[in-house]
Structure 1
Amino acid sequence: MKRRDLLLISLLVAAHRPQLLQAQPIKGKIGYLHPVTTDPNHITFSVLQREWRRLGYVEGETVLTRSGEGEPQRLPELVRDLISNGIGALIAVGAQAVRAAAGVTSSTPIVAIDLETDPIQTGLIRSVARPGGNVTGLFLDTPALAAKWIQLMREMVPALDRVAFAWQPSAGRSQLDVALRVAENLGVETMVLEFSVNDDFPRLLSTISGPKRTGIIQLSGPGITPVAEKFVAAATQNNLPTLSFLGEAARRGFLMSYGPSQKDYFPRAVQLADRILRGEKAGDLPVERPSKFEFIVNLRTARALNLTVPPNLLISADEVIE
């Protein structure tokens, strides 16, 4: 074969190399660990499911799912079970699952969906740009979010006296401590309302109703979405305006929500896991911050609370629920 022909063949192979790489078969399995549920109707599961199916993964074959069913002590055992079943990357949802996974393995790549934790402060990663170990994933810039939450609550409720941060201790203190510092810097009176998803919400929320006009900002934590209706019903009964970081919570009755768009942000966890299975290292993949946020206002809930939504909030809302 002439040298000219060899050179032509080499150029053709090089030109098509990206397509050849993309056509490579999936190598390995993705593990999915949630502290509460693997219900396909749960917002996190359903959003991720669409993405892994789009990329060619199949539940029970190349995706293995496990849930702690609300029992956090089971999470380390479930991590070990997934590893023993040959996963090459683990998507861990929530601070509890991420802590459990990081405590079990320092070698299996972990892709976190952790909206509660400061990953540098807690030692999960070395830096956002280059995590350095076996953990990467989705983490929030909590200080900026907390300031926005307080601003929105003040605008919605001009007579606001204080903010109650509804906090699940199981989520860890990172997000709570940041929110309290931000509120202090803004001169806002605060209180901490500890709760779990199994609480008696009417009884719990009646303890903070009274002469002080209190707005509830619900911090991130596992299993919030399925109990959103119960939580907001008790809050409305006690004349307490509510704000969540999850858009789904506003669609289920919360007065407002402001946070990352789950359908745009969460699929990136699957994309990171896919890149790891195709040969990249977790420690080399930068942490993914959300680029799109959504603000939702629920007018039905505003009417139930006898609140008039300021026009500027209606104009700035990405979605208004009539």
Structure 2
Amino acid sequence: MILGLGSNAMKRREFITLLGGAAASWPLAARTQQLAMPVVGILNSAGDKWVAAFRKGLSDEGRVEGRNVAIELQSTEQYAEVPSLAAELVQRQVAVIAALGGPAATAAKAATATIPIVFSVGGDPVELGLVPNINRPGRNITGVTFFAKQLLQKQVGILHDLLPKALVFGALINPNNWRHQGDAEEVQAAARTLGLELHVANAGSEHDLEAAFAGLVQRHAQALIIAGDAFFFRIGTRLVELAERHSLPAIFSTRELVDAGGLMSYAASLAAAHRQAGVYVGRVLKGDKPGDLPIEQPSKFELVINLKTAKALRLEIPATLLAIADEVIE
């Protein structure tokens, strides 16, 4: 989804196997079997929350960590570090690279043309240059998309249905996100179609948030679209608080932030997307060729509305929106 830099950089390296001090007493055959376990390298730029969903998909394919698969996790919030982490996984000669997030997918593809790669991204993989074709990606790469960019125009329309008299909308975008220009163009195109005035605010770190929201308020924004972004997800509760403090009805790109108190979201399930990436890695370990596996796309997008937040904002949700909502949080 996906770029975003927090003010507190984090870099974790985690390599999990069953080899330990007690291994010296194991029979030679057991140690040989352990060493032969395939290693899955996770290159993660999407946020730690989604790693658990990936592991679930891997286990659904019969790959149990520590029993018949080992996992090496390279995770960072600093996107400039992603290429070097990809190179480490290639040097380690892992069996498969699971690239979670747009920066991870790009770095993995640049790092190897031979090790199988399974990605999960929020953009169009063809448009992003990851694969030439959705149905037959070819070569050593396949994956999952949840089309975060393509949802932005629909999100503008939903906010317009909520506030049909509003004339000025705002959009919050992370300028460090590799999709930021495309995201801005999508929102602007939707706003023009509806005859709306749109102001884009950029926030690439937590230090930028106060100024970004203050600028939108000064420009009389009456509603807010928050673009899908890994950094925005990590600081989601802060975004929810700022939207409430400034009385800005906001639509998010993940339902988890509506659970946290956001007003509404329209999106595919990110957990399901990352789980499917794990399933694909399991299939590759069974012998499937990545290039023969079509890019998985969402089968459903969900509208989730938080009525408690609507009440706090003194908003009445139109019956038409309630009727099409997939979930209404009371």
State the shift of 1:30 in Å. 2.0
CA spacing shift, 1:36–1:143, aligned 2, 3 Å: closer
Report the RMSD for the aligned CA atoms in angstroms.
2.4
Instruction: Name the counterpart of 2:253.
Output: 245
1-side partners of 2:243 and 2:186: how far apart?
A: 24
Q: Which amino acid aligns with 1:96?
A: P
What is the SS of the residue equivalent to 1:196? coil
What is the SS of the residue equivalent to 1:209? helix
Instruction: Name the counterpart of 2:311.
Output: 303
Asked if 2 retains the 8 angstrom alpha-carbon contact of 1:264 and 1:292, the reply is: no
Deviations 1:260-297 (A, max 9, x none): 12343331111111122222222221111100222111
What TM-score comes out, normalization by structure 2 length?
0.80
Q: 1:162 aligns with which of 148, 158, 168?
A: 168
Asked if 2 retains the 8 angstrom alpha-carbon contact of 1:94 and 1:221, the reply is: no
Count the aligned residue pairs. Answer: 291
CA spacing shift, 1:259–1:37, aligned 2, 3 Å: closer
Instruction: Name the counterpart of 1:119.
Output: 125
- Bigger Rg over Cα: 1
What is the SS of the residue equivalent to 1:224? helix
Q: Quick check: 1:30 aligned with 2:40?
A: yes
Instruction: Name the counterpart of 2:52.
Output: 46
2-side partners of 1:180 and 1:118: how far apart?
A: 19
Structure 2: runs of 5 or more not aligned? 1-35
Deviations 1:14-44 (A, max 9, x none): xxxxxxxxxxxx9623221222643xxx2x1
Q: 1:208 aligns with which of 210, 216, 226?
A: 216
Q: Quick check: 1:149 aligned with 2:159?
A: no
Asked if 1 retains the 8 angstrom alpha-carbon contact of 2:90 and 2:112, the reply is: no
Deviations 1:42-74 (A, max 9, x none): 2x1222222223332316952221111x21121
Q: Quick check: 1:131 aligned with 2:141?
A: no
Q: Which amino acid aligns with 1:29?
A: V
CA spacing shift, 1:284–1:176, aligned 2, 3 Å: farther
CA spacing shift, 1:143–1:226, aligned 2, 3 Å: closer
What TM-score comes out, normalization by structure 1 length?
0.82
Higher RCO (CA 8 Å, separation ≥ 6 residues): 2
Deviations 1:181-227 (A, max 9, x none): 34334433322221124235333211111463432111121233231
**Sequence identity percentage:** 27
2-side partners of 1:206 and 1:59: how far apart?
A: 50
Asked if 2 retains the 8 angstrom alpha-carbon contact of 1:31 and 1:63, the reply is: yes
After superposing the two structures, state which structure 1 stretch, 122-131 or 26-35, moved more.
26-35
2-side partners of 1:192 and 1:135: how far apart?
A: 34
2-side partners of 1:169 and 1:133: how far apart?
A: 31
Q: Which amino acid aligns with 1:288?
A: E
Q: Which amino acid aligns with 2:87?
A: R
